[in-house]
Every structure is written in C-alpha cells, then in structure tokens.
C-alpha cells in the first residue's frame, strides 16, 4: 500500500551533487561497463571503415581521408583509450575472480593502479595516432 503523500515528501532528499561521491571501486566498475559498450560500438565503426577501404580504389581513398582527419584521429584515440581501460579493468576483474584484490583496501588500490596503467597506455595511444 502506498504511503500518504505528506509522509513521502518529508523523507530526506540529497540533491546537492557536490556532496555525493562514489567510491573509487564503483567508478572503476562503471567505467568498465561504459568502455565495454564503447568498444562494442567501435567494432562497428572500424568494420565499416574496413569495408569502405576494401570496396574500391576510390573507397580506399575515402577511408584514408577519413582516418587522416583530426576528428577521426580523436575518435580513434578515444577508442584505443576505452579499449585499454576495458582490457586492464578486465584483467583486474579476472584476477578478482581468482581471489585477488577482493578486500576493500586492495580493491581500491588495484582500481588506482588500473587507472594509472590506462593513463600511460592512453598517452602511448596518443603518440601512436598523432
């Protein structure tokens, strides 16, 4: 049975977003899901580009022009960064499945390490594409 409207209105509500913060392990988990979806979408984009480049000599030129543009270079860097985090975070997940980093403190530490490794890989990806 639903509660009277007056009682529901008096419940404490915190909408001050600046006072809400997620634990680092939650951020690591959300990012792993987000990067999984980005990687999934990226497979479609990259397959489309491959198919365009193989369609004809003109298609190859079109694909080469797209890849040369700054916008696609940026997208490519984003895709590689997302993939890097997904793989690093995925390995962290698999290690947790084996029983490592399961405590709150070790989980938080491994999340930080996975962010640091991803930052380094993202930098390398930037050097690779630019």
- Map residues 56-85 to x or -, x wherever contact with ligand HEM holds by CB under 6 A: ------------------------------
Which listed range, 1-9, 29-37, 108-116, 119-127, lies at the site for ligand HEM (CB under 6 A)? 29-37
- Helix (H, G, I), strand (E, B), or coil: what is residue 62? helix
Is residue 90 at the binding interface for ligand HEM, with CB under 6 A as the rule? Answer: yes
Q: Which of 24, 66, 75, 87 is in the footprint of ligand HEM by CB under 6 A?
A: 87
By CB under 6 A, is residue 48 in contact with ligand HEM?
Answer: no
Total interface residues for ligand HEM by CB under 6 A: 13
Q: If we measure between CA atoms, which residue out of 26, 33, 31 comes closest to residue 104? A: 26
Other C-beta atoms lying within 10 Å of the C-beta of residue 103 = 9
CA-CA distance, 69 to 46, in Å (whole number)? 15
Pick from 90, 73, 78: nearest CA to 36: 90
């Amino acid at each position: 049975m639903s509660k009277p409207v007056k009682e529901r209105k008096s419940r404490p509500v915190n909408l001050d977003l600046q006072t809400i913060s997620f634990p680092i392990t939650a951020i690591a988990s959300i990012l792993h899901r987000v990067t999984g979806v980005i990687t999934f979408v990226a497979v479609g984009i990259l397959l489309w580009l491959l198919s365009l480049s193989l369609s004809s000599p003109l298609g190859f030129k079109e694909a080469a022009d797209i890849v040369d543009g700054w916008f696609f270079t940026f997208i490519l860097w984003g895709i590689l960064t997302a993939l890097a985090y997904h793989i690093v975070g995925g390995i962290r997940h698999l290690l947790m499945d084996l029983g490592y980093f399961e405590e709150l403190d070790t989980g938080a530490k491994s999340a930080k390490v996975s962010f640091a490794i991803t930052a380094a890989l993202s930098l390398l990806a930037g050097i690779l594409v630019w």
